[in-house]
A and B are shown apart, each in its own frame.
Chain A
Amino acid sequence: MTRKPLLSAKLRLLLALAALSPLLLCAQWPFVPPTTPSAQRNALNAVRMQVDWLQNSTRTAANFGAQGYGNVRQQFEGLRGAYGAFKQTLRPDQLAYGANDLAEMDAGLDILQEAFTNYEQDIAEGRPVRTALNDMGQVMRQGSALWWQELNKKASRLRVGWG
């Protein structure tokens, strides 16, 4: 009496898994972006736009307190994502040639991110939120400008977007 519904439940589960398995496979299928010159240029442009958005968010952060801080963090994560997507458009020879340069750009982002840790430590040590946010904003704004300048230099050395 109880075995039949149990069996059918197992069967249903198996059928559902079998039906979903191609979807699961599709979801895990790695997306390989093109490494064409135009794809590289577009990806580099996307990084530049993200730097702009990050810089804009730092200008207003101090007026919005915690929300402003959250916004800067969000834009910074966006920059990391855009930079990661840019790297995926590089050809194997560019990746090999520029391995040191790219490691430096990665490190640059980690160092920029330290501004958030510094901000949190400053708050913990009793610094007013507005002052700390202003300071973090300046470091992030000017630091990201330097980072972008450096990325441009390295991208030109790696012939990014060249036909």
Chain B
Amino acid sequence: MLGEVLASLKAFRLVILISTLCGCATKEPSSAPQPGNGIQEYHQLTKQAVTLVHATLDSLELISAQTNSCPPKIVEAFEKQLQRLQIESIQVRARVQAIQARGDAYFENWSENLARMKDAQIRELAARFHPKLKESFMQIKLASQNAREAFRDFSSGLRKLRVSLENDPSVIRTEATKELIRTTRDTGQEVLQQLSAVNVELQAMTQMLTPANSAPTR
């Protein structure tokens, strides 16, 4: 009981401290640009993309499970999911494309922003692990490129399937459609694999930049 009270007091003090610090930050009159947390953002984007691709693959499975003709409700749900995929993946695809377009300059800009962080410990860690961070970035760049190519094929297969089903729901019986579903499913799995590779590297980068005394304990 006492332990719980002490823990909540501690948490309360932490909240007060954080809100005080946030208040200080918002009062700052500087018009200098503020660095963002690129790693955390990209991690969030890839997590969302993984969820989206999983949902799309589930929708594809439902289509694939039909034997005679695809019911309109299932086709409609599939169309909606494809549209969601196209819209909600825009951010992650834009990030991937920017990384490819800028290449090393992307990493350098990101490093420069890290060097301007207020937290001296993060600045020090970024400088110390610069070569390792760059190595991780190169892996991210490669996996992102692979994910981008796989996504293009995945999206193209899904759109072809959508047109076929809209025109004739019984097309599901044909061998060509079954093959289209198979290849599209494979490219979807490939997207997931590449996104997972990106996430592994992003986690490694986060660990490198986490000060030892604030590392999460298990």
User: Is A139 an interface position by the 8 A CB rule?
Assistant: yes
- Which segment, of B65-73, B105-113, B180-188, B196-204, faces chain A? B105-113
Q: In terms of DSSP, what is the predominant structure of the interface of chain B?
A: helix
Interface size on B, residues (CB 8 A): 33
* CB pair B163 A122 closer than 8 Å: yes
Taking a contact as CB atoms closer than 8 A, the residue among B31, B35, B83 that contacts A162 in the complex is B31
Query: In whole angstroms, how far apart are the Cα atoms of A115 and B30 in the complex?
Result: 40
- Which segment, of A6-14, A64-72, A75-83, A96-104, faces chain B? A96-104
- Which segment, of A15-23, A42-50, A52-60, A124-132, faces chain B? A124-132
Q: In terms of DSSP, what is the predominant structure of the interface of chain A?
A: helix
24 example contacts (A-B, Cβ-Cβ < 8 A) are as follows A93-B32, A97-B35, A98-B33, A100-B98, A100-B109, A100-B110, A104-B94, A104-B95, A104-B98, A105-B94, A107-B93, A107-B97, A107-B101, A108-B90, A108-B94, A111-B90, A112-B90, A125-B160, A125-B163, A127-B166, A139-B87, A146-B88, A159-B30, A159-B31
Binding site for B on A (CB under 8 A): 37, 93-94, 96-101, 103-108, 110-112, 115, 118, 121-122, 125-127, 131, 135, 138-139, 142-143, 146-147, 150, 157-159, 162-163
If A100-B98, A107-B98, A108-B91 are given as contacts, then 12 extra A-B residue pairs at C-beta distance below 8 Å, sorted by A number, are: A94-B33, A100-B110, A104-B94, A107-B93, A111-B97, A112-B90, A125-B163, A135-B79, A142-B87, A157-B33, A157-B34, A157-B36
